[in-house]
Amino acid sequence: MPRLNLLFLFIIFIALTISSCSPKEDAITTKDQLYVYLDTLEAKYEDACIATGLANWNLYAREGKPNLNAAKKKFATIFFDTLNRKIIEEWRAKSGSLADEMLTRRLELWSRGFIGGNVYADSQISALENNLQELITNFNFRFESNSITLAELANRLKTENNEKQRRKLWLTTSQLSGKAADDLVKLVKLRNEKAASLGFYNYYSLSLYLQSIREDWLLKNLNELEEKTRNKFKEFIESSKKKLKIKKFHAWDFDAALYRWATISDNNFPKDSIFNILHRFHRNIGFKVDSLPVKEIIKDIPFGGLNIGIQIPGDSRLIINPINGKRFYNIAFHEYGHALQAVHTKVNYPILKGYKWIPGVSSGAYSEGVAEMQTEFVDDYEWLKAFTSASQDEIERYIASRTFSDLYYLRRTLKDFFFEYEVYKNPDRDLAELERETYLKYLLVELDENTPHRFAASIRYTMYPCYYQNYILSHMISAQLFEVLVSKFGPGRISNPDVSKWIISYLYEKGETEEWADRIRNATGKSLETGAYLRKLKIMN
Segment 276-302, tens digit of pLDDT? 999 999 999 999 999 999 999 999 888
Q: How many CA atoms lie within 13 A of 446 on its CB side?
A: 4
pLDDT at 85: 92
The answer on pLDDT for 17 being more than 70 is: no
319, 373, 361, 332: which is closest to 508 by C-alpha? Answer: 373
Whole-number Å distance between alpha carbons of 205 and 209: 6
pLDDT at 1: 46
Whole-number Å distance between alpha carbons of 307 and 315: 11
Whole-number Å distance between alpha carbons of 469 and 459: 16
- Crossing angle of helices 326-343 and 364-378, in 10° steps, is 130
Task: Supply the DSSP symbol for 507.
Answer: I
The answer on pLDDT for 338 being more than 50 is: yes
Q: SS3 for 365?
A: helix
Q: SS3 for 401?
A: helix
Q: SS3 for 310?
A: strand
The answer on pLDDT for 429 being more than 50 is: yes
List of residues 6+ apart from 94 with CB closer than 8 A: none
Indicate the helix (H) or strand (E) that contains 147.
Answer: strand 146-148
251 C-beta neighbours (distance < 10 Å), count: 21
401: confidence class by pLDDT, cuts 50, 70, 90: confident
The answer on pLDDT for 522 being more than 50 is: yes
- Asked whether the bond before 313 is cis by omega within 30 degrees of 0, the reply is yes
Distances (CA, A) of 34 to 28, 54, 108, 372: 6, 30, 14, 38
Contact 251, 443 (CB under 8 A): yes
pLDDT at 400: 83
95: confidence class by pLDDT, cuts 50, 70, 90: confident
53, 102, 99, 77: which is closest to 351 by C-alpha? Answer: 102
499: confidence class by pLDDT, cuts 50, 70, 90: very high
434: confidence class by pLDDT, cuts 50, 70, 90: very high
CA-CA-CA-CA torsion sign (125, 128, 134, 135): negative
Phi, psi of 144 (to 5 degrees): 50, 50
Q: 66 vs 429, which has greater pLDDT?
A: 429
476: confidence class by pLDDT, cuts 50, 70, 90: very high
Contact 169, 132 (CB under 8 A): no
Whole-number Å distance between alpha carbons of 196 and 297: 41
Q: Which structural domains are found in the chain, ordered by start?
A: 267-400+467-498 (1.10.1370.40)
Q: Which of 203-207, 338-342, 402-406, 474-478 has the lowest mean pLDDT?
A: 402-406
What is the arithmetic mean of pLDDT over 55-72? 90
pLDDT at 120: 85
472 C-beta neighbours (distance < 10 Å), count: 24
State the amino acid at position 201 in one-letter form.
Answer: Y
Number of helices (H) and strands (E) in the chain: give both, helices first.
Answer: 25, 5
4: confidence class by pLDDT, cuts 50, 70, 90: very low
Q: Which of 150-154, 229-233, 305-309 has the lowest mean pLDDT?
A: 150-154
Per-residue pLDDT tens over the stretch 226-242: 999 999 999 999 999 99
Distances (CA, A) of 210 to 206, 256, 372, 391, 498: 6, 39, 22, 47, 34
Whole-number Å distance between alpha carbons of 388 and 265: 10
pLDDT-above-90 percentage for the chain: 83
First to last CA, the chain: 91
Contact 450, 471 (CB under 8 A): no
Ranked by mean pLDDT, the top range of 70-74, 136-140, 180-184 is 180-184
520: confidence class by pLDDT, cuts 50, 70, 90: very high
474, 415, 409: which is closest to 439 by C-alpha? Answer: 415
Contact 480, 528 (CB under 8 A): yes
pLDDT at 26: 52
pTM of the model: 0.89
Q: State the chain's mean pLDDT as an integer.
A: 92
